[in-house]
Amino acid sequence: MAIRGVLVCVDPSTAGATRLQIAFHLARERKAFLAAGYVFPEEHRGPASPRVTTTLPVPNDGVVGVAGHGIERARGEVPAAAFEEAVEQQFRKELEEFGLDGELHVFATGDTESVTELAKSFDLTIMGQLAPGVSARGALRPEQVLVAAGRPVLVIPQTSRVASVGKRVLVAWDGSREAVRAVNDALPFLTAAEAVTVIFVGSPDRALERQKPSIERVIRHLRLHGIEAKLEETLRGDISVSNTLLSRAADLAADLIVAGAYHHSQLREALVGGVSRELLEHTTIPLLLSH
């Protein structure tokens, strides 16, 4: 799958600027169309709230770009329409600097339905990890878009400050439908990566034996695409699968983890825990998830 269309969800924050910077670089590398979904707080929209006091990424108010060139936080009251216009002008200016085509969409906080509908027509959606201490209720949540849109989602951690991802990739493999989908959705990243490691985390020992043919086939599949992936098999031990993956990714200096998401229902994962939910909550490394 070639990446020809990228959607990135951004907001007036340093983390939002990092996501947009990653999106600009990825779109330029892939010669892709780039759409930005700017998350605009609901309370600042509509005739009842014609003015807004907030942190603004507006060039005239001292902000240096919205693509991560360095955001200086500027506070002040501006009309909502002027806010949106300033953001769009800055976005289009930087599209031109990167030599890209694109468009801007404005969403209210938590408008997951609109984001999902838009994501259905893009090859990749880039979203942010839910910030620590922020209530999930009403927030724009990547797992909801991932499951409903049927398209891969690249989740960027709140603490990430990198400009690009995918040089060193760790692929989580368990032979599931979701893992198969993730590997194939990730092919554009894997073919360009400097190093790819496929890891199977099993427990007990017989799980390794059972999955051996599947693991060998996926390595062969990647080789057919010109990807010489290294294979690792490990027992889970006393720590969770998610922590095993995150620990190994750190050991390998990986800047991207590829994984299938939500083998079970989101409700079950919320109640009893699950690899997908734990990765989303605790990762400090970008995640490419597919469902």
Tens of pLDDT, residue by residue over 93-108, are 999 999 999 999 998 8
Spatial distance between the Cα atoms of 270 and 275, rounded to a whole number of angstroms = 11
| CATH fold match for the domains 5-156 and 168-290 | yes
pLDDT tens digits for range 131-174: 765 555 557 889 999 999 999 999 999 988 877 799 999 999 99
Homologous superfamily (CATH) of 168-290 is HUPs (3.40.50.620)
Spatial distance between the Cα atoms of 155 and 279, rounded to a whole number of angstroms = 10
Residue 50, class by beta-carbon neighbours within 10 Å (0-12 exposed, 13-18 middle, 19+ buried)? exposed
Judging by DSSP bridges, how do beta strands 124-128 and 153-156 pair with one another? parallel
Read off the pTM. Answer: 0.84
Spatial distance between the Cα atoms of 97 and 94, rounded to a whole number of angstroms = 5
pLDDT at residue 138, as a whole number: 57
Are 213 and 221 within 8 A, CB to CB?
no
Q: Which fold has domain 5-156?
A: Rossmann fold (3.40.50)
User: What residues does each domain of the chain span?
Assistant: 5-156, 168-290
Are 47 and 18 within 8 A, CB to CB?
no
pLDDT tens digits for range 160-217: 887 779 999 999 999 999 999 999 999 999 999 999 999 998 766 667 778 888 999 9
